[in-house]
Amino acid sequence: MPTIPPERPAPPVRESHHHRAVAESFGADAERYDRTRPPYPGALVNRIVGASPGPDILDVGCGTGIEARQFLAAGCRVLGVEPDARMADFARRTGVAVEVATFEAWDPAAREFDAVIAGTAWHWVDPVAGAAKAALVLRPGGLLAPFHHVFQAPPAVAAAFAEVYQRVAPDSPFARGSQQTGSALELYEPLFARIAAGIRAAGTFTEPERWRFDWDYRYTRDQWLDQLPTLGSLTQLAPDQVATVLADIGAAIDAMGGSFTMHYTTVAVTAARTGSR
């Protein structure tokens, strides 16, 4: 398996985990978030389950429980940790046990787990403190496996979307998309490198590996517009800006025939806990 050598935009001056206002904005419409955000590839879930020494999973930043329910369906026991009480309440209503806290401040109360996962959430965790906390709660041989969706729209679609953001919300990361070179996956490299560096700094894990899963999803106009308000680029905009973005993006999709295919790459950065208690 390939190892990692020593969010979509280039890394900001302040890392994502410092931006709590954005991190805790998604619960404003938890039902929409859960309805529209894509699940994770079954192959990813199965690989994590197969690599874990047992069924006890800690889901960091579990949100509304999207990936937690996938691991429950795979036969695991799952506990979520989620800083947003609104997201946690929604997850509980779907059958996920959740405790409200940031991962760094969460009290494990001497509990241990076979895997620590995070579905598109580890960028909200301090990478060094997070890996150290994971090492604290993992059993020997347990797996740390934060994973992220990377999405790549076709060039014409990305250009149409970027034009809207440049006009309506020029400070949005999506507005800068057309000015960036390289694939979306390449733009995530700094994030994956920070995750791996944090794991190495903990000193109690095997060398990080990267697991990659590619898949496509075809969005209709209405499906994409339903998901857009859950993205961090829109949760921080004024309502009138959001309305304009949705109207103009909808018009762009209509001009393309009413639907488009988004390519997803789901990447997990994984390592096993070494040593003994």
Instruction: With beta carbons less than 8 A apart as the criterion, state whether 136 and 203 touch.
Output: no
Cα–Cα–Cα angle for 83, 86, 88, nearest 5°? 60
> Quick one: average pLDDT of 104-119?
97
Instruction: With beta carbons less than 8 A apart as the criterion, state whether 34 and 90 touch.
Output: yes
Residue 8 is predicted with a pLDDT of 38
- pLDDT per residue over 78-94, tens digit each? 999 999 999 999 999 99
- pLDDT per residue over 232-276, tens digit each? 667 777 888 889 989 999 999 999 999 999 999 999 999 999 987
Question: What are the angstrom distances between the C-alpha of 96 and each of 31, 52, 92, 249?
Answer: 15, 20, 5, 34
> Quick one: average pLDDT of 31-56?
96
- pLDDT per residue over 194-218, tens digit each? 999 999 999 999 999 999 999 999 9
Report how far residue 54's alpha carbon sits from residue 250's, in angstroms, rounded to the nearest whole number: 46
- Residue 277: burial class (beta carbons within 10 Å; 0-12, 13-18, 19+): exposed
Q: What is the pTM of this model?
A: 0.87
Report how far residue 245's alpha carbon sits from residue 243's, in angstroms, rounded to the nearest whole number: 6
Q: Which domains does the chain have, with CATH numbers?
A: 16-150+182-215+264-272 (3.40.50.150)
- Look up residue 190 and give its amino acid: P
